[in-house]
């Protein structure tokens, strides 16, 4: 653990703050909630369950225990409704805004819904945060804003043309945040996530992320599908690194770090072919007793996915220097943690249903 993050965690534990996490029942939101409650923080969470799941909240409740769970207040609300946003922001120190429709293919299929949630909803949240005079507004942006830029690794100042409505919505968020800081003096930080993975990420559905989808396929002896030739590469980032970046961004006391965009990643490339191999190595380290239905299956190669960039790699030097961000997990160690959770979830579902399926709780982002 980096020294800055360790210091911040100790400080928060001795001096609790009040946090708002939007999209709290989703993949990233529920992990943020768990981390904050484990630091004895007071947390307000808002979700409309369009992409999040109630069972994610139950999973957090089970993980943190009843005492810490008592510090959590849940609001079933929608970021597109100003009254809900105003209620959620009341008395809050820090906002961690994660709520969004977070799928490139979905945005191509339904750009209107993406704009309604990711732009209209974002402005409602900004305005509510400004009105409540929160100390810091931290929000999820995306590596998709780099679009067709060929700059490798990607640096925050140099973006290309967006390749999807989702990318446009996240770039628009960054522009709006800049305007709110200049016009209303709102303090903000944008975190451009690069291919986040980890526990509670949805393995099901048409827009499921690749890692949980492949884990689910291999556990159930199904064929994993690789979009393209397998040499597409990504900078995969384990969820605990994202949690760290959010807490550091909200807690930063340096004025030089504010009102800026940061890459959140590991700073390393992994091809899809390499990723599948790493998943297999981690998964098959478990015994046949743990995963009786799992076996190695040759992948199927399908067409490239519309709106996807060919390669993605982040320069994380700005986050290191200004926030003290130090990714604790690389891809391999993050996969081991993720698969441990999926295996435990599978066994828990087996105990309930007698069949080998992953929990329907997690939400994709």
Domain boundaries, the chain: 3-195+237-267+313-330
The number of beta carbons lying within 10 Å of the beta carbon of residue 315 is 18
The number of beta carbons lying within 10 Å of the beta carbon of residue 314 is 29
State both tokens at 342. Answer: 């999926």
State both tokens at 281. Answer: 């190595």
DSSP conformational letter for 277: H
Q: What is the pLDDT of residue 348?
A: 58
Helix (H) or strand (E) holding 153: none
Q: What is the pLDDT of residue 42?
A: 98
Helix (H) or strand (E) holding 191: strand 188-193
Distance CA 44, CA 72 (A): 6
- For residue 250, the SS3 value is helix
Q: Are strands 233-234 and 270-271 parallel, antiparallel or unpaired?
A: antiparallel
List 142's β-bridge partners, or say none: 193
CB distance 259 to 188 below 8 Å: yes
Q: What is the pLDDT of residue 39?
A: 97
> Which residues are tagged catalytic?
166
DSSP conformational letter for 155: -
Q: What is the pLDDT of residue 207?
A: 63
Q: What is the pLDDT of residue 209?
A: 83
Pick left, alpha or beta for residue 253 (phi over 0 → left; psi -120 to 50 → alpha; otherwise beta). alpha
The 10s digit of each residue's pLDDT in 21-43 is: 999 999 999 999 999 999 999 99
The number of beta carbons lying within 10 Å of the beta carbon of residue 18 is 17
The number of beta carbons lying within 10 Å of the beta carbon of residue 66 is 8
The 10s digit of each residue's pLDDT in 144-158 is: 999 999 899 999 999
pLDDT more than 90, % of the chain: 76
| Sequence-distant (≥ 6) Cβ neighbours of residue 257 within 8 angstroms | 189, 249, 322, 323
**Fold entry, domain 3-195+237-267+313-330:** Rossmann fold (3.40.50)
Distance CA 315, CA 118 (A): 25
- Res 289 pLDDT > 70: no
Per-chain mean pLDDT for the chain: 91
- Res 263 pLDDT > 90: yes
The 10s digit of each residue's pLDDT in 322-354 is: 999 999 999 999 999 999 888 887 655 554 344
Distances (CA, A) of 145 to 166, 169, 280, 308, 312: 9, 9, 31, 11, 11
- For residues 82-101, average pLDDT: 98
- In the structure, what pLDDT confidence band is assigned to residue 358 with cuts at 50, 70 and 90? very low
């Amino acid at each position: 653990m980096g020294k800055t993050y360790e210091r911040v965690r100790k400080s928060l534990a001795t001096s609790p703050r009040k946090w708002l996490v939007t999209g709290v029942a989703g993949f990233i939101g529920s992990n943020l909630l768990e981390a904050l409650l484990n630091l004895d923080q007071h947390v307000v969470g808002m979700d409309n369950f369009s992409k999040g799941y109630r069972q994610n909240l139950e999973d957090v409740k089970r993980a943190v225990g009843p005492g810490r769970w008592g510090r959590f207040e849940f609001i079933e609300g929608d970021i597109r409704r100003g009254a809900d946003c105003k209620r959620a922001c009341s008395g809050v120190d820090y906002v961690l805004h994660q709520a969004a429709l977070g799928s490139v293919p979905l945005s191509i299929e339904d750009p209107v819904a993406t704009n309604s949630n990711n732009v209209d909803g974002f402005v409602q949240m900004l305005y509510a945060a400004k009105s409540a005079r929160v100390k810091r507004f931290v929000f999820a942006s995306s590596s998709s804003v780099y679009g067709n830029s060929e700059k490798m690794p990607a640096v925050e100042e140099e973006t290309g043309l967006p390749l999807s409505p989702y990318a446009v919505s996240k770039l628009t968020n960054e522009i709006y945040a800049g305007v709110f800081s200049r016009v209303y003096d709102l303090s903000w930080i944008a975190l451009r996530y690069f291919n986040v993975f980890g526990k509670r990420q949805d393995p099901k559905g048409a827009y499921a992320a690749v890692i949980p989808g492949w884990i689910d396929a291999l556990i159930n002896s199904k064929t994993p599908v690789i979009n393209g030739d397998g040499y597409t590469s990504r900078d995969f980032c384990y969820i605990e690194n994202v949690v760290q970046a959010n807490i550091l961004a909200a807690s930063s006391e340096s004025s030089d770090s504010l009102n800026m965009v940061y890459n959140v990643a590991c700073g390393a490339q992994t091809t899809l072919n390499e990723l599948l191999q790493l998943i297999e190595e981690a998964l098959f380290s478990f015994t046949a007793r743990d995963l009786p239905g799992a076996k190695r299956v040759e992948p199927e190669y399908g067409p490239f996915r519309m709106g996807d960039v060919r390669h993605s790699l982040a320069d994380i030097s700005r986050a290191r220097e200004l926030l003290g961000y130090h990714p604790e997990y690389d891809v391999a160690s993050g996969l081991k943690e993720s698969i441990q959770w999926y295996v435990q979830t599978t066994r828990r579902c087996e105990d309930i249903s007698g069949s080998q399926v992953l929990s329907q709780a997690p939400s994709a982002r």
